Structure 1
Amino acid sequence: MLDRSIVYGLSAVACWSTVATAFKLGLGYIGPFELVFWSVLFATLMLVAVVWWQKRSLLEAYKKSPKRYWLAGMLNPGIYYPLLFLAYQKLPAQQAQSINYSWALMLTLMSAIFLKEKITKKDWLACLVGYFGVVVIATSGDLTSLNFQSPQGVIFALASTVLWAGYWIVSRKNNEQPVTAMALNFICGLPIVLIVMLISKAISGDMSMPGWQGLLAAVYIGLMEMALAFVLWLKALQATENTARVSNLIYLSPLISLVLINQVLGEAIHSATLIGLAMILLAVAFQQKRKAG
């Protein structure tokens, strides 16, 4: 029988594996900024409910470091998810998802800048291989002409990795219980995504509520990707004595996701996506193994 840590880990991976498809489906019914707001709202409600069930105090945790939570909330979900959803709006799901996995490489580079962590020659080589994989994906393998399907979409996708890496750097020294910290980040980020949504709706002149299909997508994304997957992953890490074994499960997610993108969205998976994603994942796996060692 599978132990609890593997069950929790695989459940989290299952949640994360569906979100690229859910993002793309949701964006077919609702604009990116609306989808972000409603998703974050539902995720916030669930995270607060989990904290309440755990009998923890959000107010006491907030008082310890309010500036940290506002900064973290501004980064994620405040700016990260709008950029990510814009990337998914402009790129095929397979490209947006695959490029997003390069955030771990960005974390290495930003840790060297902001945390003064040492980068070895092997780290630089891994980053070079990983970002070459990004170019392969973004150009659909057409490296000679460097013809990007959507340069703007690629910029949004890469910018989202900067925000996500920055979020982890800001959160790294937070000793608060993780779900409590995540709930506070989302509470502080919620006003930001609300303002962004209202501005976008004022510019477009459309102040109507989204249809049920868009709200259903937001419920799924908020609960499954933003909240439940995070809680399940923490449970997996807490239930295991072998963190590496559980952590390696995450590499199943992009592969399962590509299958769903193909079967549900009908996107033909380009060979360049597979090659580029393999380069990114190998680069990330190498860096993770070196740090663990």
Structure 2
Amino acid sequence: MSRRAAITGLTALAPISWGSTYAVTTEFLPADRPLFTGLMRALPAGLALLALTRTLPRGVWWGKSVVLGALNIGAFFPLLFLAAYRLPGGLAAVVGSVGPLFVVGLAALLLGERPTVRALLAAVAAAFGVSLVVLKAGAAFDLVGVAAGLASAASMSAGTVLTKRWGRPKGVGPLAMVGWQLTAGGLLIAPVAFLVEGAPPALDGRGVAGYAYLALANTAVSYWLWLRGIERLPATSVTLLGPLSPITAAVIGWAVLGQALGPVQLAGMAIAFGATLAGQWTPRSSFSSAERTGEKVSMDLTTPVVRR
């Protein structure tokens, strides 16, 4: 196995892990607690990363961290979990899969970036393929859930573009920035969660295990793998690993939750997976050039952003 393939495989474990979020939310966690669930995923992981990196923002980065934390965590997580509670996992995932298209539009508007035709076609094909997965009997179409999913994608997309526009402070690693955003976002969610949902719910063993999984494996470890990948791979290739998340959600829905997968859904999964593979193709010269120049990256919570 080549070094490039090994790095790509490890990085792919992050979106695969994120694809399990929907099943864990609906099967292990207390019902109708999207704010508390977002809080429990963000704040423990953020505090753990702060303790690990021992790096705090300085100067204007206090304010920027709050803005990015609000967009990428404070709004994104509660809306994401609200969509997960109200929609089947596959439908919740496909609504979120339009995020890369939001990023393309916002980047063109705010950054003047023109995406490559190949990357744009791969993103569109992936979104189309994932959309086919939800075209099955019994898929509930809940307007509130769909609106929450779209709003979460828009919030994260805005955070992605601002992350790229602002870059990263000199001498600060991306892992520290993730810790800043998770902590800021978690602290923003906390008062709203207690005001809207009241005191934390009583948790049984399943609930404790679910929250522990989301905070540790699904967030802290997965984002570490994601960071490791974007430091070594072209940014576009890493971004287009994202469709593995909804594909995983659909597979778990079929294997664990008993959700049906017919020929149309299987075709959609094949299209989305094919788009993911196409997104990994990069001329060898481009990859080698990135290695030679020591390409630097910064990130929001799902999409890598290049800063040279």
Establish whether TM, by shorter chain, passes 0.5: yes
Structure 1 residue 74, shift from structure 2 partner: 0.7
- Residues 143-199 of structure 1, C-alpha deviation per residue, up to 9 Å, x if partnerless? xxxx96212211211111111111111111322421111111122112221122112
What is the one-letter code of the residue matched to 1:5? I
Match of 2:27 in 1: 25
For CA contacts below 8 A with separation 6 or more, give which structure has more relative contact order: 1
Residue 109 of structure 1, aligned match among 79, 97, 105: 105
Contact 1:7 1:236 in 2 (8 A): no
Q: CA deviation at 1:20?
A: 2.8
Q: 1:29 to 1:241 in 2, by over 3 A?
A: closer
2:256 counterpart of 1:261: no
SS in 2 for 1:265: coil
- What is the alpha-carbon distance in structure 1 between the residues aligned to residue 70 and residue 264 of structure 2? 34
1:47 maps to which residue? 49
SS in 2 for 1:225: helix
Instruction: For residue 109 of structure 1, report the CA deviation from its aligned partner.
Output: 1.4
User: Residue 62 of structure 1: CA displacement?
Assistant: 3.4
One-letter identity of the residue aligned with 2:147: I
Contact in 1 for aligned 2:97/2:127 (Cα 8 Å): no
- Indicate conservation of the 8 Å contact 1:97/1:254, yes or no: yes
For residue 278 of structure 1, report the CA deviation from its aligned partner: 5.5
Q: Is the 8 A contact 2:68 2:162 kept in 1?
A: yes
Aligned residue number for residue 226 of structure 2: 233
Aligned to 2:149: 157
Q: How far off its partner does 1:259 sit? A: 2.1
Between the aligned partners of 1:135 and 1:141, the Cα distance in structure 2 is: 14
Q: How many pairs were matched up? A: 278
Contact 1:42 1:218 in 2 (8 A): no
Distance 2:253 2:123 in 1: 26
Distance in structure 2 (CA, Å) of the matches to 1:200 and 1:63: 33
Identity of aligned residues (%): 23
Distance 1:167 1:97 in 2: 19
For 1:27-84, what per-residue CA distance to the aligned partner results, in whole angstroms no more than 9, with x for missing partners?
45562111111121221122223313xxxx21xx333422211110111210001111
Return the alpha-carbon distance in structure 2 between the equivalents of residues 150 and 271 of structure 1.
24
TM-score by length of structure 1 reads: 0.77
Which residue of the partner structure matches residue 306 of structure 2? none
- Unaligned segments of structure 2, at least 5 residues: 288-308
Contact 2:87 2:140 in 1 (8 A): no
**Aligned 1:212-251 pairs, distance under 5 A:** 212=204, 213-238=206-231, 240=232, 250-251=242-243
The partner residue of 1:95 within 91, 95, 105 is 91
Structure 1: distance between partners of 2:8 and 2:118: 31
Looking at structure 2, the residues matched to 38 and 288 of structure 1 have their Cα atoms a distance apart, in angstroms, of 33
| Range with bigger deviation, 280-289 or 82-91 | 280-289
Q: Tell me if the contact between 1:101 and 1:280 (Cα under 8 Å) persists in the aligned partners.
A: no
Farther off after superposition, 107-116 or 1-10: 1-10
Q: Which residue of 2 aligns with 1:193?
A: 189
1:174–1:195 Cα change, 3 Å: same
Question: Matched residue of 1:209: which SS?
Answer: coil
- Tell me the alpha carbon deviations over residues 249-273 of structure 1, each in whole angstroms, 9 at most, x when there is no partner: 5554443442222222222235554
| Equivalent in the alignment of 1:178 | 174
Equivalent residues in 2 for 1:77-88 (5 A)? 77-88=73-84
2:41 touches 2:211 (CA, 8 Å); kept in 1?
A: yes
RMSD: 3.7
Deviations 1:200-243 (A, max 9, x none): 224xxxx35331332321221121222211111212333x4677
When you count helix as a share of all residues, which structure comes out higher?
1
Q: Relative to structure 1, is the Cα distance of residues 15 and 280 closer, same or farther in structure 2, using a 3 angstrom cutoff?
A: closer
Paired position in structure 2 for 1:210: 202
TM-score normalised to structure 2 length: 0.73
Question: In the alignment, what sits opposite 2:161?
Answer: 169
Shift in alpha-carbon separation, 1:137–1:114, aligned structure 2, 3 A = farther
Counterpart Cα distance in 2 of 1:16 and 1:265: 17
- Cα distance in 2 between the residues matched to 1:136 and 1:13: 19
